[in-house]
Amino acid sequence: MSEPSEVAMRETTVTEQADELAIPITIKVLGVSMLGGLIGMVVMLPLLVGVPAALGLFSTDPIVAFVPLTGLLGFEPTLAIGLALFVAGGTVLLPMVFLVVGAYLPPASPRALRGATFATIFWTGFVPAFWPEGGTLTVLAYLVVSLVAHWLYGVVLAGVLDRTVGIPQHKV
């Protein structure tokens, strides 16, 4: 029998290293990601709501308008239901999505910044959904403040995962 080639040995080593980096998505990983999402929400909300409210730019109308589907379930759209859906999305839905796609997002390092990339993608959907009434200054303030708030959320979400259980890596 012949000895394995250097290339074959290198491929085996790379495969073994990739297997060592694989982090399965377990109940613990799900829980940590949701905790990261909750902490991210706590960090982002003062900027996302507090700054616009202080500048007189905040309106709750878009949050109420965000929940018309609750009418199908027999609920009248209210601010409380809108806030509950917003918080549920940030603490449950988005962390689960990040668990699946976070391994594939740039940058490679530091891994917590993958959360900023992730949050930027979702920010592009947030922007038109909550577009403010007003002039250029209002719109610019909205764009900057909401983007920075989303970056904070994403970095906190990814940072909590990376520092505790790691950002799951998947085989495709």
- Model confidence at 160, pLDDT cuts 50, 70, 90, reads very high
Considering the domain boundaries, does residue 13 fall inside one?
A: no
Higher pLDDT, 97 or 18: 97
Give the Cα separation of 43 and 77 in Å (integer): 26
| DSSP per-residue codes, 11-52 | HHHHHHHHHHH-----HHHHHHHHHHHHHHHHHHHIIIIIHH
Report the pLDDT value the prediction gives residue 75, as an integer from 0 to 100: 74
Considering the domain boundaries, does residue 149 fall inside one?
A: yes
- Model confidence at 64, pLDDT cuts 50, 70, 90, reads low
**What is the tally of structural domains in the chain?**
1
- Model confidence at 13, pLDDT cuts 50, 70, 90, reads very low
Considering the domain boundaries, does residue 170 fall inside one?
A: no
Q: Please give the average per-residue pLDDT across 36-48, as a whole number.
A: 94
Report the pLDDT value the prediction gives residue 8, as an integer from 0 to 100: 47
Encoded amino acid at 86, one letter: F
Mean pLDDT, the chain, rounded, equals 83
Each residue's pLDDT tens digit, 126-135: 898 888 888 8
Separation in Å, CA 87 to CA 23, 95, 142: 27, 12, 20
Tell me which residue range forms the domain holding 56: 23-164
Q: Please give the average per-residue pLDDT across 38-64, as a whole number.
A: 82
With beta carbons less than 8 A apart as the criterion, state whether 131 and 57 touch: no
> What length is written for the chain?
172
Higher pLDDT, 79 or 13: 79
Report the pLDDT value the prediction gives residue 10, as an integer from 0 to 100: 47
Considering the domain boundaries, does residue 1 fall inside one?
A: no
Considering the domain boundaries, does residue 95 fall inside one?
A: yes
Stretch among 19-23, 41-45, 163-167 having the lowest mean pLDDT: 19-23
Considering the domain boundaries, does residue 171 fall inside one?
A: no
Considering the domain boundaries, does residue 12 fall inside one?
A: no
Give the Cα separation of 34 and 49 in Å (integer): 21
Give the Cα separation of 63 and 71 in Å (integer): 15
Higher pLDDT, 22 or 39: 39
Q: Please give the average per-residue pLDDT across 31-59, as a whole number.
A: 88
Buried b / exposed e across 146-158, counting CB within 10 Å, b at 16+? bbbbbbbbbbbbb
Give the Cα separation of 130 and 65 in Å (integer): 9
CA atoms within 13 A on the CB side of 17: 6
- What are the structure tokens assigned to 48, written together? 């996302």
pTM for this one?
Answer: 0.81
- What are the structure tokens assigned to 155, written together? 């970095």
Report the pLDDT value the prediction gives residue 74, as an integer from 0 to 100: 74
Q: Using the structure block, give the residue that is written with the tokens 């290198």.
A: 10
DSSP 66: T
